[in-house]
A and B are shown apart, each in its own frame.
Chain A
Amino acid sequence: MDIHEFTKQIEAEFEEVEPGTITPTTNYREIKSWSSMYALIVIAFVDANFDVQLSADDLRNSQTIQDIYNIVMAKKTN
């Protein structure tokens, strides 16, 4: 899954978000309807699709969708 597909699928998981509003450089905390619920959705999505666990620190240390993608890819190869 490349970054564009990753972004598209994450966006689809966030039901309240208008399609096409999230890009790889979007700071996900600035998404209008962002809540702590979204962090759980991201964790569940990554777990289901990559069998990788994002920790609370991973999320704390990331800003954009691209950051999350990079962490997932790094964990996937390790």
Chain B
Amino acid sequence: MKAYIKAISYYLPPTALSNKELCEVFPNLTEADIYKKTGIKKRHITSEGIVGSDLGFFAAEKLFEEHNIDRKTIDYIIFCTEGLDYKGPVTACVLQDRLQLNTTCGAIDLPYGCTGFTYCISIAKALIESGQATNVLALTSDIPSTVIHPEDADLRMLFGDAGAATLITATENETIAIGSFSVGTDGSGAENLMVKGSGTRGPVDQEWLDKYDNVGGLKYGRMQMNALEIFNFALRIVPPLIESILAKNKLEKSEINLFVFHQANAFLLSVLRRKLKIEEDRFFIYMEEVGNTVSASIPIALAEAIKCGKAKKGDKVLIAAFGIGYSWSGTVITI
């Protein structure tokens, strides 16, 4: 048995933050500067009390409705986020009940960031191909805005909140199967992109809360990013990742109809595209309206590529993710 991506939907919180609004907060920035640096015009921001699992829930409901999917056919749910509801129970358990999935359903959380989507697909494929599941619901949902200090202009202009829902289903049709994965990890870069004060190591304490009292306490932690190092990491790791994905799938670069990478930053993506010598019309960027939505970025871009006809039925799409960890992974899928 093989696995394929059957359907994708996504949900954006209604409130958006425009470049104009950012410029009002940071008078030294211009709208043109922000756009040039990021390729983003607006990013959606969650409201107080609406967390990652809520966005995942809304995305899942949209998936069932938009693609006419019977929720009772789901036999495994993976919830991927860096903002879990609890240390226990697993948030996927709470979502199983909230989404009214069968109690025979398996449920796991995957606390991953930029590479969350490709990891979800990899695990879903393994579950299906090993006969443990038939219909895996992968929810990739992140709320980076809740861990960004309001004065961190570079982070606020880049990140947006969103939830995506992807259904991975068993098939006997090998031509549409999810391909082989290439993965990689280098934890020596962990400090270059990290949410400090977000777990059991160095948790938020009274001193922290006092320090950040004027900005609401930053009680879920504070994201810190060394942009130059992350940029360098991507330039270093993405070209060999792409080569490895192509080699594992016995494909030439020319056989790929569309390349969809983690939507990290449009400037970085265009530098990578040129480095990889991929033509602009085979390289999809969808950031203007949503920003970098962490684990939701690839499924949102895929959904949009399908919607606008850029990715057509039968197309081979190379998906590649890289970022926090450091971690990277990718594969080839068929639309």
Contacts and interface: CB of A to CB of B under 8 A. Distances in A.
Contacts of A37: 33, 36-37, 267
A53 interface: yes
A71 interface: no
B227 interface: yes
A17 B154 CA distance: 22
A58 to B, nearest CB: 9
Interface in B176-234: 226-229, 231-232
A40 B231 contact: yes
Most buried by B among A36, A37, A48, A55: A37
A49 B228 CA distance: 18
B235 A56 contact: no
Nearest to B28: A35
A56 B154 contact: no
A56 B274 CA distance: 22
A53 B228 contact: no
B99 interface: no
Interface in A30-58: 35-37, 39-40, 43-44, 47-48, 53-56
Nearest to B153: A36
Interface string A52-66: 011110010000000
B72 interface: no
Given A55-B228, A55-B229, A59-B228, A44 B33 contact: no
Interface residues of A, number: 14
A44 B236 CA distance: 11
Interface residues of B, number: 17
Nearest to A59: B228
A48 B228 contact: no
Contacts of A36: 37, 154, 227
B275 interface: yes
Most buried by B among A39, A53, A56: A56
B69 interface: no
A13 B51 CA distance: 41
Most buried by A among B227, B231, B236, B268: B231
A55 B274 contact: no
18 contacts: A36-B227, A37-B33, A37-B36, A37-B267, A39-B228, A40-B227, A40-B268, A43-B231, A44-B235, A44-B271, A47-B275, A48-B275, A53-B235, A55-B228, A55-B229, A56-B226, A56-B228, A56-B232
Interface of B: 33, 36-37, 154, 226-229, 231-232, 235-236, 267-268, 271, 274-275
